[in-house]
Amino acid sequence: MTTKFKLATFGGGCFWCMVSPFDEQPGIHQVVSGYTGGHTVNPTYDEVHTHKTGHYEAVQITYDPSVIPYEKLLDLYWQQIDPTDAGGQFNDRGDSYRTAIFIHGVEQKELAESSKEALENSGRFTTPIVTEVLPAQPFYPAEEKHQHYYKKVPFHYNLYKEGSGRSAFIRKNWKNTKSDAELKLELTPLQYHVMKENGTESPYNNEYWNNKDEGIYIDRISGEALFSSLDQYDAGCGWPSFTKPLRRNELTEKLDTSLGMRRIEVRTKTSDSHLGHVFDDGPGLDRARYCMNSAALKFIPKQQLEAQGYGEFISLFQQVN
How far is residue 267's CA from residue 254's CA, in Å, rounded to a whole number?
8
At residue 173, the 3 state secondary structure works out as helix
Does the active-site annotation cover 14? Answer: yes
The radius of gyration of the chain's CA atoms, rounded to the nearest angstrom, is 20
Which is the catalytic residue, given 6, 8, 11, 14?
14
Considering 278, 291, 292, 316, which one is annotated as catalytic? 291
Residue 11 burial (C-beta neighbours within 10 Å; 0-12, 13-18, 19+): buried
Partners of residue 279 on adjacent β-strands: 289
Distance CA 82, CA 88 (A): 9
Strands 88-89 and 225-228, by their bridges, are unpaired
CA-CA-CA-CA dihedral for 188, 190, 195, 200, to nearest 10? -170
CB 276 within 8 A of CB 291: yes
Encode burial over 83-115: b for 16+ CB neighbours within 10 A, e otherwise. Answer: bebeebbbebeebbbbbbbbbeeeebeebbeeb
**Cβ-contact 122, 139 below 8 angstroms:** no
Give yes or no for a contact between 289 and 243, defined as CB atoms under 8 angstroms apart. Answer: yes
In this structure, the chain runs to a length of 321
Q: Amino acid letter at 77?
A: Y
Active site residue 291: yes
Hey, which residues are catalytic here? 14, 291
